[in-house]
Amino acid sequence: MGQIAITDPDKKVLLGKYLPPGSMRRRLATYIGIPVLVLLIFLGIVDRIIMPIVTRQGSDFPLPPFVDMKVIEAEMQLEELGLSYQIAGEEYAPGKEKGVILNQFPIAGTRVKPGRQIKFVISMGQKFLPIPQVAGKSVRQATLDLEAAGLLLGEVSWAFSDTIPERVVVFSYPASGTEVPMGTKVNLMVNRGRASEYTYVPKVIGMQLDDAVKLLEKKGLKAGIVSYRTNDNYLPDTVLEQSEPEGTELTVGAKVDLIVTKT
């Protein structure tokens, strides 16, 4: 059996008291305590020396922003930082060129280490849509078809002809089949027959009151009762509601009531 050498007499007496030579406790201390002590020392070395090397402790850095950059530009910067990337998704983005980064994960400022993979969502550019065929349809149906196609109703003008049906769309401009950006306003030309006593209500919501009145007059209409409502989200005299929806057919000279903001 191995013996633990003690040179200090006081410690020797103390050790002999609690760990008498040849006792079970002395043997347990020798064969269990020492290995446990060695193990603890080893774990301390691993925790304080080896693991920091393996995990590159102290090598992390804040991730730069890549949003609004082109992927090819971000790729060069990522290589310099020892990072890689993955395209996680693509989305149509009005006003964003194809290949521009829309989102990144992790977000800018997150601390990362070399070797980390950064995920990007990139732009597919502006989505273009074909204008549906609306000739021969009512203004209401044409408006619904445009909205279903991701487009908006623009100006409604009218022509006079006795060779085609009345009160139907003659053509759109841009023309049917033309590919335009999503959300584009499409103007309609509508036949009113030999003469017209009717007009169509324009959209004046969101306009200043003076501009709305001028547009109504341009369309042969008049501003009716003007009511006021408090709304701090809009500038004073901004039209909030109109009594007749956009595209409604009215006789020339009809009045359209308006609700506008006040502070």
Q: For every one of its 263 residues, what pLDDT tens digit does the chain have, with 9 covering 90 and above? A: 444 444 555 545 555 555 566 666 666 666 676 677 777 777 777 667 665 555 555 578 999 999 999 998 999 999 999 999 999 999 888 788 889 999 999 999 999 999 999 999 999 888 889 999 999 898 889 999 999 999 999 998 888 776 677 788 999 999 999 999 888 999 999 987 655 577 889 999 999 999 999 999 988 899 999 999 999 889 999 999 999 998 888 888 899 999 999 87
pLDDT at 259: 96
CA 13/CA 245 separation, integer angstroms: 104
Tokens of residue 53, six digits: 């090397």
CA 230/CA 236 separation, integer angstroms: 9
CA 20 to chain centre: 75
The fold adopted by the segment(s) 61-123 is Trypsin Inhibitor V; Chain A (3.30.10)
Q: Do domains 127-196 and 199-263 have the same CATH topology?
A: yes
Domain ranges of the chain: 9-54, 61-123, 127-196, 199-263
Domain 199-263 indexed as CATH 3.30.10.20 = yes
Residues paired with residue 101 on neighbouring β-strands, in sequence order: 122
CA 24/CA 26 separation, integer angstroms: 5
103, 121 Cβ separation under 8 angstroms: yes
Domain 127-196 indexed as CATH 3.40.50.1820 = no
